[in-house]
Amino acid sequence: MLLRPRLSAWTAWTGGAALIVSLILTLIGVVVIAAELNTLHADRLNVLQREDNIQRLDVLQRDLRMAETGQRGFLLIGDRRYLKPYEDALDRVPKDLADLRRTRLAGAADLPRLQELVDAKLTELALTIRLHRTSPEAALAVVRSNVGQGYMDEIDAAAGVLLAHEQARLRADTLALDKLAGGAAVAVGVTAILALLSGGLGIILILRNRRLGDLEKLNATLEVRVSERTERLTEANRELDAFAYTISHDLRAPLRAIHGYAEVISEDGGEALSDDLRTDLQKIAAAATRMNRLIDDILAYSKISKETMSVRPVGLDSLIGRSLVQLEADCANTTVEVARPLGDVVAQPAALQQAIENLLSNACKYVAPDTSPKIRVRSERRGPQLRLWIEDNGIGVAPEHYERIFKPFERLHGVETYPGTGIGLAIVQRVMERMGGSCGVEPSAEGGSAFWIELPEAEAPP
């Protein structure tokens, strides 16, 4: 017997394949995430750029206002200190413009117009400041003429257009960014699940391999243990066989001697032997014969347990015929009635014949001294089984002994009354058990016993 826990090759194969597929999908997931993060980074830079551009436009407008504030302060008060904001702004505005030109503005086409307006505004501011040296009044008149304000309004409008472009682009980029972020989140989620799945599968496979390894180890030790025990049992069986062999040989030799010498004395004794002595010598020989038969029966009984029973369909009619021929001497005065056809059973022919002969022999033997033995043999179909009845007009068996009589060495009568070894019915029962059949006894109609044996019925005649 061996534990065979081996999961099917198919299961092992699918497990491994699932792990590989899951790992590949995880890898693809990681690549997708990397690509998405890359795009996300680029888009994020774009958004930052838009925000910078918006900021720069705002700074440009603020610097122009600072420049104008400085110009007005100077023109109104005449103190050069007030020109400081103007001069600072003057430094910064070209830089602001240069920055705007460098960046990829959404409304880059409108940038030259803004440049022109800024240049015009700065020119206007510079002109009025120069004019102030010659005629402060004239300069103030220019300021009051609202020409400067007009430039500022146009600049605000132009910057507003650029701003609107940038803001629109910023909104679009932010939306795209949000969308990408969503996609990336999904990819991360899916990949995480796949990674978990791969990990789980991997752990399961590792655990299973370890379990298989353990089971294989267990199997190996089990096989060793089983083979050790089988060896011990085989050895025990060999010893039993040797024992049976010894019984059959060594025990028989002295028996033969006892029997032989008793007969030799009886034959050669002549006149010197009284009739009583001669009877005693006959009893010695008879006892030896009995013991010899006992040895035969014990050997037969142990053989039934040992030998394999290869069953095949057996015709009961011919088997009963052969058995009756065998028992011709034992059943000389017996009337036998066989209700043919008896049918066919599945059995080992020699063993079945032995069982039937034992039953027939009993039926001839266990009869009251003043009765001539009568036997009726018939069969009865019982489902898939066929029951063979052997009914006699003998002395019968009391119901309380029904079980006992099938046990080895159980006898209900003294050897003097009915000779026998007490193994015949035990052999019948053992044979039936070995062939998957059964046996039993009931009272017969004629006051004797009705012994039966039951075996699977053969489907077709042999």
The verdict on 427 binding other proteins (CB under 8 A) reads: no
Considering only 58, 216, 267, 337, the residue that binds other proteins (CB under 8 A) is 267
Planar angle of CA 147, 148, 153, nearest 5 degrees? 100
Q: How far is the CB of 274 from other proteins (least distance, A)?
A: 20
Closest to 362 in 3D by CA, of 444, 275, 239: 444
Considering only residues 186-245, where is the footprint of other proteins by CB under 8 A?
245
Closest to 300 in 3D by CA, of 421, 192, 204: 421
The verdict on 290 binding other proteins (CB under 8 A) reads: no
- Beta-carbon contacts of residue 70 (< 8 Å; ≥ 6 apart): 82, 83, 84, 85, 86, 87, 88, 89
Q: Which is nearer to other proteins, 288 or 432 (CB)?
A: 288
The verdict on 154 binding other proteins (CB under 8 A) reads: no
Q: Which is nearer to other proteins, 92 or 252 (CB)?
A: 252
Closest to 218 in 3D by CA, of 365, 5, 53, 429: 5
Strand order in the sheet with 374-382: 335-338, 374-382, 385-392, 449-456, 438-443
Binding-site size for other proteins (CB under 8 A) equals 19
d(CA 69, CA 225): 107
The verdict on 255 binding other proteins (CB under 8 A) reads: yes
Considering only 253, 329, 332, 460, the residue that binds other proteins (CB under 8 A) is 253
Structure tokens at 321: 């015929």
Q: How far is the CB of 264 from other proteins (least distance, A)?
A: 5
Considering only 16, 160, 200, 260, the residue that binds other proteins (CB under 8 A) is 260
Contact 143, 72 (CB under 8 A): yes
Q: Which is nearer to other proteins, 166 or 297 (CB)?
A: 297
d(CA 21, CA 18): 5
The verdict on 287 binding other proteins (CB under 8 A) reads: no
Q: Which is nearer to other proteins, 252 or 434 (CB)?
A: 252
The verdict on 292 binding other proteins (CB under 8 A) reads: yes
The verdict on 261 binding other proteins (CB under 8 A) reads: yes
Q: How far is the CB of 428 from other proteins (least distance, A)?
A: 21
Considering only 210, 229, 256, 278, the residue that binds other proteins (CB under 8 A) is 256
Q: Which is nearer to other proteins, 137 or 268 (CB)?
A: 268
Q: What are phi and psi of 408, to 5 degrees?
A: -60, 145
Handedness of CA 435, 437, 440, 444 (dihedral sign): negative
Site stretch for other proteins (CB under 8 A), options 7-15, 254-262, 406-414, 435-443: 254-262
Number of H helices and E strands in the chain, helices first, is 10, 7
Structure tokens at 299: 């050997």
Q: How far is the CB of 297 from other proteins (least distance, A)?
A: 13
Contact 59, 95 (CB under 8 A): no
The verdict on 264 binding other proteins (CB under 8 A) reads: yes
Chain residues in the site for other proteins (CB under 8 A): 245, 248-249, 252-257, 259-261, 263-264, 267, 285, 288-289, 292
